[in-house]
Homo-oligomer: A and B are copies of this chain.
Amino acid sequence: MDQKQLKQILENVKDGNMSVDEACLKVREAPYTDIGYARIDNHRALRQGCAEVIYGAGKTAEQILGISMTMKERGVPCILITRISPEKELLLRGRFEPYRYEEISRTAIIGKMPEADGMGQIVVATGGTSDIPVSEEAALTAEALGNKVLRLYDVGVSGLHRLLDHLDDLMSATVIIAVAGMEGALASVIGGLVSCPVIAVPTSVGYGANFNGLSALLSMLNSCASGVSVVNIDNGFGAGYQASMINHLSGS
């Protein structure tokens, strides 16, 4: 509740247009309604067609279906469901139209992807084929939030020429999401080549002294390139979400 809204309520009370009890209720609830989640809702409302996201892990198929149907009824044009297993996904099939399920990243999409309305293009770069599930989660999240996404999926540092072949794509990106497991060197190498923000996503791909993604995580946090920040291991959604935030800043 901003200064103006509060003043209006108080003027109404003063003028006898609103009872003290009603004002009391409005004032007590308003700041909290206004803080956080709801404010994000309003902001989102400004960008029609943009998706809402359901985090599927730890929810039952029934819960996911229920939330999806409520959202659909509320008129959400596009719903992105991350980390939903093929077993759970069966319950959604045939219930929505349009609908698709991307098995590699375990993502379901209900409704129509929005038009891209961001500042520029988001590049999702990844080194090995095993990193693709996380990369796709990032890419689909960014697309569902209204971004143009370019996927560069064969550009690991052990074959540097493939990365350098895509220098122009990298150089012209607004934000780059660098997804890598094992030693996570991709983030540093890309960070040293470009001058846009790089969001690094360590993956749990690897074995042994990889310690479930710890090696890539530490590597990325210690990047010798400026302009690199990091999200949680395997957190493709988080990277796609922040990249979209950055790519839509010019619109604010």
Contact of A192 among B158, B235, B238 (CB under 8 A): B158
User: How distant is the Cα of A241 from the Cα of B226 in the complex, in angstroms?
Assistant: 7
A119 near B235 with CB under 8 A, answer: no
| Number of copies of this kind of chain in the complex | 8
User: How distant is the Cα of A59 from the Cα of B37 in the complex, in angstroms?
Assistant: 37
Q: Would you give the 0/1 interface string for A118-130, flagging 1 where the beta carbon is closer than 8 Å to chain B?
A: 0110000001111
Quick check: which of A70-78, A90-98, A207-215 contacts chain B, the rest being far away? A207-215
A209 near B221 with CB under 8 A, answer: yes
Q: Would you give the 0/1 interface string for A124-161, flagging 1 where the beta carbon is closer than 8 Å to chain B?
A: 00011110000000000000000000000000111111
A215 near B209 with CB under 8 A, answer: no
From 152 to 172 in chain A, residues with beta carbon under 8 angstroms from any chain B beta carbon are 156-162, 164-165, 167-168, 171
Whole-angstrom distance from the CB of A58 to the nearest CB of chain B? 4
Whole-angstrom distance from the CB of A174 to the nearest CB of chain B? 6
B222 near A160 with CB under 8 A, answer: no
Of the candidates A3, A202, A205, A233, the one having the most CB atoms from chain B within 10 angstroms of its own CB is A233
A6 near B31 with CB under 8 A, answer: no
Residues from chain B with a CB closer than 8 A to the CB of A16 are 14
Contact of A24 among B10, B21, B167, B227 (CB under 8 A): B10
B14 near A161 with CB under 8 A, answer: no
10 A-B pairs with least C-beta separation: A208-B233, A32-B161, A185-B185, A158-B192, A215-B218, A229-B229, A58-B130, A250-B250, A183-B219, A219-B219
With A157-B192, A158-B191, A160-B189 already in contact, 15 other A-B pairs whose C-beta atoms are closer than 8 Å: A10-B23, A27-B27, A36-B159, A38-B161, A57-B207, A119-B249, A128-B224, A156-B192, A157-B185, A158-B226, A182-B222, A185-B185, A207-B234, A215-B215, A229-B239
CB<8 Å pairs between A and B, sample of 11: A6-B27, A7-B21, A14-B16, A33-B161, A209-B222, A215-B221, A216-B219, A221-B232, A226-B242, A227-B242, A227-B245
What residues make up the interface of A, taking CB atoms closer than 8 Å to B? 2-3, 6-7, 10-11, 13-14, 16, 20-21, 23-24, 27-29, 31-40, 43, 57-59, 119-120, 127-130, 156-162, 164-165, 167-168, 171, 174, 182-185, 187-189, 191-193, 195-197, 199, 202, 204-235, 237-239, 241-242, 245-246, 249-250, 252
